[in-house]
Amino acid sequence: MKNYQVDITIIGSGPGGYRAAVLGALRGRKVAIVESATWGGTCLNRGCVPKKDWHETAKWIEQSRHYAQRGVVGPDLAGDMTQAWEHQHQVVKTVRSSYVDYLKRLGVQLLDGLGSFQDPRTIVVRGQDGETQQIQTRYSIIATGSTPALPRGIQTVPGKVLTSDMLYDDAAPAGKRVILIGGGVIGTEFAYIFRQLGKEVQWLVNSPSLSHTRYSPQAKDTLKAALHTLDIQAQEHFRVSRIEEDARGVSVFAEDGRQVQGDWVLLATGRHAFTQGLGLENTAVHLDEQGFVETDTYLETAEPGIFALGDVVGPIMNANQAMSDAQIIVHNLLSEEKTARNPAWVPELVYSAVELARIGLDEDTAEDEGFEPAVGFAAFETSPRALGQDDTAGFVRLLADMDSGELLGGEIVGRDAGELIHLLANSGDREEALRRIAETRVNHPSRAEELVNATETLAARWGLEAQIFGAGESADAL
Ligand SMILES: Cc1cc2nc3c(=O)[nH]c(=O)nc-3n(C[C@H](O)[C@H](O)[C@H](O)COP(=O)(O)OP(=O)(O)OC[C@H]3O[C@@H](n4cnc5c(N)ncnc54)[C@H](O)[C@@H]3O)c2cc1C
Ligand SMILES: NC(=O)c1ccc[n+]([C@@H]2O[C@H](COP(=O)([O-])OP(=O)(O)OC[C@H]3O[C@@H](n4cnc5c(N)ncnc54)[C@H](O)[C@@H]3O)[C@@H](O)[C@H]2O)c1
């Protein structure tokens, strides 16, 4: 049995674990990272990276409908999921090998196998070949992510009843008629992607799409309208209770007796924290009622020296949160001044018929926290850049406190929202944020200009000129 002595051990190599390993090594610490399955975790192998690759393909196909009017002529184009699957697979392989390479170059010790606490400072790693290795560690980070949650009584069947994990682990099933279950983020993203990739999609949801998220009603309505334009509509109040397979495919039954038939099913019915086999009983680490690892606001568990991040901590499950958590933990391990987790200021995204991005507080939360939120709005409808791209859906919506002009939150809907949100994500002084945006030297024509326009709307409509433009000359003095 091989033995290692390190400063920090990370269990799980998803975006959170990977980022923690990189930051720990860059700060001169001896780091080991353990992975029981594919290096890179859910995000790289079965989540964000392959999904965004498909979203890009779906956008190309949608945009091809504008080709003729722009003077690009030729036969009609259509999506092919088999080829799209191959494309994402190649992208994922390339990214994975560059990730692993970088960790090795930084001197991180990579260990293949299931990591399990023998005691709070000892982790045993069991490889698939039965070999075991042991790590003595000063600190540990649990970064073991999540797995798909299935409705009660429903089981997966390869090629017929899949989760998103299974969809990317093996080539996509051939059948054209797909039944998609769930109105959460995955359901809303895949309804669009599947449709553009040439599938006939029956989308079953028990509550309206994204109803449990913090996007504004305006954002959800814009997305709904874009999906309708592409003839994508959900069957609402469909609570799945049973799935049957036969020679012709699959039948999905609702609690109220409705029945839908198709070739295969994708279950997008949530995910839960994954802690199986971690040996937490040999530590003081505690799980909450939903199975998430409990931590304090600095992400330390009930066992001093053991931290946790990302999906396994929840409740927000996205790569951005996992990577932000990693930054916080490594910072706190190495600095006197501690930083607390603040999920509100980590961007959230949805990639569907339009992109939705948001950060900060929504109106209700802002009011609850004692602010008086004012809204600044700018639509892409008249943006020269958006018009030139034949893609004018969406807007920028900024929230500021009426008294102080402090930026409270922001939402960007439309093409490239996932890139533009970074202009709001800088964690600098938020009392100065709107002034910083208003003074940004912009590229023209660009979508980023609409952020400047939204700050100007805020100033003009809510009398925030002094806070946003500064106390310069008044109009009377001119
Ligand atoms: C279809 C889909 C699309 C998504 N798209 C996006 C997106 O566009 N943007 C976004 O921000 N988020 C997206 N997400 C969410 C994102 O993938 C997750 O939030 C993110 O991967 C969580 O990162 P993590 O580091 O917490 O864990 P994970 O990425 O889940 O990684 C955990 C790793 O730990 C390993 N592990 C578990 N137990 C052990 C053990 N005992 N020993 C060793 N290794 C272990 C697992 O094998 C796994 O590799 C998507 C998710 C899905 C399913
Ligand atoms: N862009 C991103 O950041 C991104 C992308 C994909 C996934 N994720 C994260 O991954 C996690 C999993 O995504 P998800 O969409 O599976 O989960 P989710 O929790 O967002 O949504 C699950 C949906 O399934 C529905 N559902 C559950 N049981 C059902 C039943 N029996 N019949 C019909 N509907 C049922 C729920 O009502 C809900 O609408 C989420 O936390 C999500 O935020 C993030």
Predicted-complex ipTM score: 0.98
Cα(330) to ligand 2 centroid in Å equals: 30
- Considering only CA atoms, which residue is closest to atom 52 of ligand 1? 47
Q: Give the pLDDT score at 467.
A: 87
End-to-end CA distance of the chain: 81
- Considering only CA atoms, which residue is closest to atom 17 of ligand 1? 43
Are 82 and 174 contacting, i.e. CB atoms less than 8 angstroms apart?
yes
Q: Give the pLDDT score at 246.
A: 86
Cα(405) to ligand 2 centroid in Å equals: 35
Q: What is the mean pLDDT of residues 436-446?
A: 94
Q: Give the pLDDT score at 426.
A: 77
Q: Give the pLDDT score at 477.
A: 54
Q: Give the pLDDT score at 286.
A: 98
Mean pLDDT of the chain: 95
Residue 267 to residue 25: CA distance in whole angstroms: 38
| Distance set, CA 424 to CA 320, 325, 377 (Å) | 14, 19, 15
- Considering only CA atoms, which residue is closest to atom 50 of ligand 1? 47
Is the pLDDT assigned to residue 4 strictly greater than 80? yes
- Considering only CA atoms, which residue is closest to atom 19 of ligand 1? 318
Q: What is the mean pLDDT of residues 148-161?
A: 96
Residue 322 to residue 48: CA distance in whole angstroms: 13
Cα(215) to ligand 1 centroid in Å equals: 23
Please give the number of the atom of ligand 2 that sits closest to the Cα of 317. Answer: 41
Please give the number of the atom of ligand 2 that sits closest to the Cα of 188. Answer: 15
Q: Give the pLDDT score at 471.
A: 66
Cα(370) to ligand 1 centroid in Å equals: 35
- Considering only CA atoms, which residue is closest to atom 44 of ligand 2? 318
Q: Give the pLDDT score at 369.
A: 95
- Considering only CA atoms, which residue is closest to atom 12 of ligand 2? 270
Q: Give the pLDDT score at 237.
A: 96
21 or 468: which carries more pLDDT confidence?
Answer: 21
Residues with CB under 6 A from ligand 1: 11-17, 34-37, 41-43, 46-48, 51-52, 114-115, 143-146, 164, 186, 274, 277-278, 310-312, 317-320, 322, 349, 351
Closest CA to 117 of 127, 126, 109, 108: 126
Q: Give the pLDDT score at 247.
A: 85
Is the pLDDT assigned to residue 472 strictly greater than 80? no
Mutate to test the pocket of ligand 2, among 147, 156, 185 (most ligand atoms within 8 A of CB): 185
Mutate to test the pocket of ligand 2, among 163, 193, 269, 321 (most ligand atoms within 8 A of CB): 269
Residue 20 to residue 32: CA distance in whole angstroms: 10
Are 118 and 132 contacting, i.e. CB atoms less than 8 angstroms apart?
no
E-only strand ranges, 88-232: 109-112, 114-119, 122-126, 132-142, 146-148, 161-163, 177-181, 200-204
Q: Give the pLDDT score at 475.
A: 54
Q: Which ligand is nearest to the CA of 51?
A: 1
Mutate to test the pocket of ligand 2, among 49, 155, 271, 321 (most ligand atoms within 8 A of CB): 271
Structure tokens at 300: 């330390």
**Residue 409 three-state SS:** strand
Is the pLDDT assigned to residue 384 strictly greater than 70? yes
Q: Give the pLDDT score at 335.
A: 94
Q: What percent of the chain has pLDDT over 90?
A: 91
Tens-digit pLDDT profile for residues 294-338: 999 999 999 999 999 999 999 999 999 999 999 999 999 999 999
Is the pLDDT assigned to residue 140 strictly greater than 60? yes
Please give the number of the atom of ligand 1 that sits closest to the Cα of 43. Answer: 17
Residues with CB under 6 A from ligand 2: 151, 181-187, 189, 205-207, 239-240, 268-271, 317-318, 349-351
Cα(218) to ligand 2 centroid in Å equals: 21
Q: Give the pLDDT score at 199.
A: 96
Q: Give the pLDDT score at 204.
A: 98
Is the pLDDT assigned to residue 269 strictly greater than 90? yes
Q: Give the sign of the dihedral formed by CA 293, CA 299, CA 302, CA 305.
A: positive
Coarse DSSP helix, strand, coil percentages of the chain, rounded to the nearest 5 percent: 35, 25, 40
Cα(148) to ligand 1 centroid in Å equals: 11
Residue 278 to residue 182: CA distance in whole angstroms: 30
Q: Which ligand is nearest to the CA of 49?
A: 1
Q: What is the mean pLDDT of residues 159-172?
A: 95
Mutate to test the pocket of ligand 2, among 53, 165, 206 (most ligand atoms within 8 A of CB): 206
Q: Give the pLDDT score at 476.
A: 58
Q: Give exposure, 258-297, as e/b (b: 16+ Cβ within 10 Å).
A: eebebbbbbbbbbbbbbbeebbbeebebeeeeeebbebee
- Considering only CA atoms, which residue is closest to atom 37 of ligand 1? 144
Helix axes 319-334, 15-26, angle to 10 degrees: 30
Lowest mean pLDDT among 69-73, 207-211, 240-244, 426-430: 426-430
Cα(456) to ligand 1 centroid in Å equals: 39
Tens-digit pLDDT profile for residues 84-122: 999 999 999 999 999 999 999 999 999 999 999 999 999
Cα(86) to ligand 1 centroid in Å equals: 21
Please give the number of the atom of ligand 1 that sits closest to the Cα of 318. Answer: 19
Strands 177-181 and 200-204: parallel
Is the pLDDT assigned to residue 428 strictly greater than 90? no
Q: Give the pLDDT score at 161.
A: 97
Please give the number of the atom of ligand 2 that sits closest to the Cα of 271. Answer: 12
Q: Give the pLDDT score at 76.
A: 79
Are 156 and 267 contacting, i.e. CB atoms less than 8 angstroms apart?
yes
Burial label for 5, CB within 10 Å (0-12, 13-18, 19+), is: exposed
